[in-house]
Amino acid sequence: MEALLLNAENRSAEVKTISKPIPRWNEILIRVHSIALNPVDSLYVYHPLGSTGRVIGSDFAGTVESLGPDVPATGGLKPGHRVAGFLQGASSVNDRPGAFAEYLVCPYDLVWRVPADLSLEAAAAVSLCGLTAAQALFYRLGMKAPFKWDDLRAQDDACNFSVFIYGASTSVGLYAAQLVRRAAEASGGKVRLVGAASRKHFGMLKAEPYGYDHLVDYRDDNWPEQVRTFTDDKGVKYAYDCISEGSTIVNTAKTLAVGAGMAVVRSRQGGAWDTPREELPTEPIYGAVWEGLGEDVQYVGMFLPKSKVSRDFATAFYKWLSEDGRLQPNPIRLMPGGLKKVMGDGLRLMGSGTMEDREASRTEEWMKPVSAEKLVYQLERSN
């Protein structure tokens, strides 16, 4: 089969032919139809942690090809079922392969069933960013989730509160808004949702399924003050910085009420931001989405031991998606060329680490700057 493999020495990736994987205990073999790109995929190609020869990439959607040993019949999966999920790929120093290949193996309970009226291209855009948002809101900040999961920590039963999302039009931000709304519906409460984004996206963000009550333009120098005016200057109860680079941390922190919580998508340890702790009302909460895979993870100067609780949260979230908790997928940009064009086009558009470091000189329609959408490739078969 063909797969996109890391070339760590050249800080690049190239398509090569490798052996088709064989599912082990509790794994399924998936024929990949579509893949979606995330900033983390390009970050660790341009700044490699893995070794040459690793399959890169995270998000995928496809069909079940076969079941490995001991996959329980109660799991409900059969060959031909359409599923989506994500793998860690080359975003660590571990040996686990990623998703950008014609076939992959994945634990049977870390995928979700794609409904018949949803395309596999759209489904590929959900798993990693949807789980990232869910982890931040429910698992880390403690907002009460719209689905059941077993955890000893108390969840917030408050019905009426305010939430601020910086980077509201990012992939994670779009899912975060939907999850906040779904959580409010489940609890019968009322949430005041405030976001920061480019003004050109305000119309989309105010409409369903996001339903923002108030929006500010992140280019305005006084946007934190504007956010506070929407809460009678008391500040928000929860804030989620979906950019987490440099000044976004301290400015998002200015929107917080006393005793409020704040989550971020990038870590202090990884060098994305270095705001002194004494300049913040609370230390932002960071956690890697990879924790949901239930494996030891080592990357960016951190070692994250496997966590049953984190994995149980991920499986509960995907069960919810499979049953009645569908999120509307992010808008997608279908990119041409399959695996062979991911490196030269898609990863260049994503950049090598920051919002400013992204391809902006190409003139093709599919190479316009990325904004409020996910880049998705269909895989062209070699056989």
pLDDT in tens, 171-224: 999 999 999 999 999 888 899 999 999 999 999 999 999 999 999 999 999 999
The predicted structure's pLDDT at residue 381: 62
Cis peptide before 284 (omega within 30 of 0): no
Identity of the residue numbered 124: A
Question: Residue 235's pLDDT band (boundaries 50, 70, 90)?
Answer: very high
The separation between the first and the last C-alpha atoms of the chain, rounded to the nearest angstrom, is 8
Kindly state whether residues 104 and 134 are assigned to the same domain.
Answer: no
Average pLDDT rounded to a whole number, residues 364-379: 93
Kindly state whether residues 143 and 214 are assigned to the same domain.
Answer: yes
Give me the residue label for tokens 């090569």: 16
- Top mean-pLDDT range of 128-137, 302-311, 350-359: 128-137
Q: What is the CATH number of the domain that holds 132?
A: 3.90.180.10
Q: What is the DSSP letter of 330?
A: P
Is residue 154 predicted with pLDDT exceeding 70? no
The predicted structure's pLDDT at residue 74: 62
Question: Residue 356's pLDDT band (boundaries 50, 70, 90)?
Answer: low
Average pLDDT rounded to a whole number, residues 298-322: 90
Kindly state whether residues 164 and 285 are assigned to the same domain.
Answer: yes
Tell me if 107 sits within 8 A of 83, measured CB to CB.
Answer: no
Which of 49-53, 58-62, 248-252, 341-345 comes out lowest in average pLDDT? 49-53
What 3-state DSSP class applies to 105?
Answer: strand
CA-CA-CA-CA dihedral for 173, 174, 176, 178, to nearest 10 = 160
Which structural domain, as residue segments, surrounds residue 229?
A: 128-293
Kindly state whether residues 167 and 231 are assigned to the same domain.
Answer: yes
Kindly state whether residues 247 and 149 are assigned to the same domain.
Answer: yes
The predicted structure's pLDDT at residue 233: 86
Kindly state whether residues 133 and 79 are assigned to the same domain.
Answer: no
Q: How far apart are CA 96 and CA 295, in angstroms?
A: 10
- State the chain's mean pLDDT as an integer: 92
Kindly state whether residues 276 and 371 are assigned to the same domain.
Answer: no
Residue 265 lies in a domain: yes
Element containing residue 308 per DSSP (H, E):
helix 308-323
The predicted structure's pLDDT at residue 270: 79
Q: How far apart are CA 159 and CA 171, in angstroms?
A: 26
Question: Residue 149's pLDDT band (boundaries 50, 70, 90)?
Answer: confident
The tens digit of pLDDT for each residue in 248-296 reads 999 999 999 999 999 999 988 878 888 899 999 999 999 999 999 999 9
CA dist 111 to 25, 297, 321, Å? 15, 19, 10
The predicted structure's pLDDT at residue 93: 82
Element containing residue 238 per DSSP (H, E):
strand 236-241
The tens digit of pLDDT for each residue in 76-101 reads 899 999 999 999 988 888 888 999 99
Token code pair at residue 238: 């929860």
Tell the burial category of 144 from Cβ atoms under 10 Å away from its Cβ (0-12, 13-18, 19+): middle
